[in-house]
Amino acid sequence: MWSHSTARQGLKDFVRWMTFSRTGIPQWSFKLPIILRAVAVVASIVAGVALAATGHGIAAAAFSALAVGTTASVNALHNHTGCAPLRPRHWIAPVVIFLLAPYAFGRIHLTQSRVDWRGRAYELDRSSRLASR
């Protein structure tokens, strides 16, 4: 069972991972497909909730199916690339990561000038990249 402190630490680790990996993987051919999947999942969730709230059940179901299908494609990609198969209880993980990503990027760009990672502190420049020494 997760406590508040372990969830908070997990979020801090996620922000650190986003900080260092966003400039560490420069090939758009690698990043663009997952960015498009993230946008599709978040947009379909937002649209589905909005449509459900306004009484458009069929359209909300269609957008929900889009979110589920996109998440399934991420999980299939995970399995296809040789990673350990996800347990059914972890199938929702991509959705959680996609929903947390805007927060992580916002936090990196708006509030962070330093990141602590594995016992070392790294200063970030104005564009949230590692500052040159």
Express each pLDDT in 44-72 by its tens digit: 999 999 999 999 999 999 999 999 998 88
Q: What is the pLDDT of residue 46?
A: 94
Residue 14 lies in a domain: no
33-46 pLDDT, tens digit per residue, is 777 888 899 999 99
Residue 21 lies in a domain: no
- Three-state SS string over the chain comes to CCCHHHHHHHHHHHHHHHHHHCCCCCCHHHHHHHHHHHHHHHHHHHHHHHHHHCCCHHHHHHHHHHHHHHHHHHHHHHHHCCCCCCCHHHCCHHHHHHHHHHHHHHHHHHCCCEEEECCEEEEECCCCCECCC
Cβ density class 40-50: b for 16+ within 10 Å, e for less: bbbebbebbee
Residue 5 lies in a domain: no
Nearest to 93 by CA among 41, 43, 57: 41
Residue 130 lies in a domain: no
Residue 8 lies in a domain: no
Range of the domain at 59: 27-123
Domain count, the chain: 1
- Between residues 78 and 29, the one the model is more confident about: 78
Residue 46 lies in a domain: yes
71-127 pLDDT, tens digit per residue, is 888 888 878 888 888 888 888 888 888 888 777 767 666 666 666 667 777 776 665
**Local confidence band at 4 (pLDDT 50, 70, 90 cut-offs):** low
